[in-house]
Amino acid sequence: MTTYKFIDNSGLDVDWDASSFTSKNGTWKTREGDVRKEIYKMTKARSNVSFVYKESLRSMITSFNDVGYISSEDKWTDIKCIHANAERAIAKLKQENNIILPVLSIGQTVSDNDSERQKTESLLVNEKYWDKEKNRAIRILSLAPRAVNVRYQLNIWTKYMADMDQILEQIRLKFNPEMQVPTEFSTLAKAFLESEEEVGQVTVSDKEDRILKKTMNIVLRTYIPSPKFLFSSEGQITEFKIGDTC
């Protein structure tokens, strides 16, 4: 039988105030700490703009550009997918886009933090790339990317229910259960279909016709990348942009 021996801690001082002591962790010199401090110093506001929202939107529009429908004459017809939030002056130029139905549009609505995927800020991300020109591997360091969920609304407008149902099944099949949304920043970003809303009207008053419009709410789980830095074998840290050669 196991016997336990309890320590008598009656002599220990347990009432001390931890906040009255200064931590010495910050003064401990480590290579990782130096690199992190250097990266903090080199990070400027302008290098924080990666255009990830724009590229994600571009990729989302592209993802739905292959949707079409089979016409009553068994002919495949492509459908245009456009950005849903155009400036009026530019939308005017393209106003013929929605004269002929069906039409698809996609627009970004809101984005929020994803607490499940978030990393601590001080985490250093170490990536390796192969430089074909120099024929050697390079090391890229960055702080942790920010995990965000970007929400989009995919709008569908058709004249006939037969077209609407064909479009819906193609869109549903793209999310099985997720849809890859590749960008230059990530090939792993995934979009999920959250819900579907009826926007048009089926019950209409006298002298009005039915409107077949639907909105599908999509959430894209992606990351906003932190600025990246090239970490040479000599220990030098320089700013690095995707597409740069070292």
Partner 1 sequence: MAKKNYKATTKLPELPDLDEGESLLNLFDQDNPDINLFNLVDDEMIRLAGSKFSFYKYYQTEEFDDVYMESRNKPVAKNAITVHGHYDPTSMSEELTQFGIELTNDQLFTFNKSYIERKIGRSVIPGDILKPAFQDQMYEIFEVVEDSFESYGVYHLVCSAKLLRDAPDVQDTPLTEISDELGGYAGI
Footprint on this chain of partner 1 (rule: CB under 8 A): 71-73, 77, 82, 84-86, 88, 91-92, 94-95, 97-101, 103, 105, 107, 153, 155, 157, 159-163, 206-209, 215
Least CB distance to partner 1 at residue 189 (A): 23
- For partner 1, give the closer residue by CB, 59 or 215: 215
Least CB distance to partner 1 at residue 148 (A): 23
Contacting residues for 146 by C-beta, under 8 A, at least 6 apart: 113, 118, 223, 224, 226
- For partner 1, give the closer residue by CB, 34 or 197: 197
Least CB distance to partner 1 at residue 60 (A): 14
- For partner 1, give the closer residue by CB, 103 or 140: 103
- For partner 1, give the closer residue by CB, 71 or 238: 71
Contacting residues for 72 by C-beta, under 8 A, at least 6 apart: 162
Least CB distance to partner 1 at residue 98 (A): 4
- For partner 1, give the closer residue by CB, 143 or 171: 171
SS3 per residue for 27-52: HCCCHHHHHHHHHHHHCCHHHHCCCH
- For partner 1, give the closer residue by CB, 36 or 83: 83
Least CB distance to partner 1 at residue 234 (A): 53
User: What is the per-residue DSSP string for 184-200?
Assistant: SS-S--EEEEEEEEE-S
**In angstroms, rounded to a whole number, what is the distance separating the alpha carbons of residues 156 and 164?**
8
**In angstroms, rounded to a whole number, what is the distance separating the alpha carbons of residues 202 and 156?**
15
3-class SS of residue 135: coil
Least CB distance to partner 1 at residue 25 (A): 52
User: What is the per-residue DSSP string for 143-157?
Assistant: EPPEEEEEEEEEEEE
* Residue 55 host element (H or E): helix 52-63
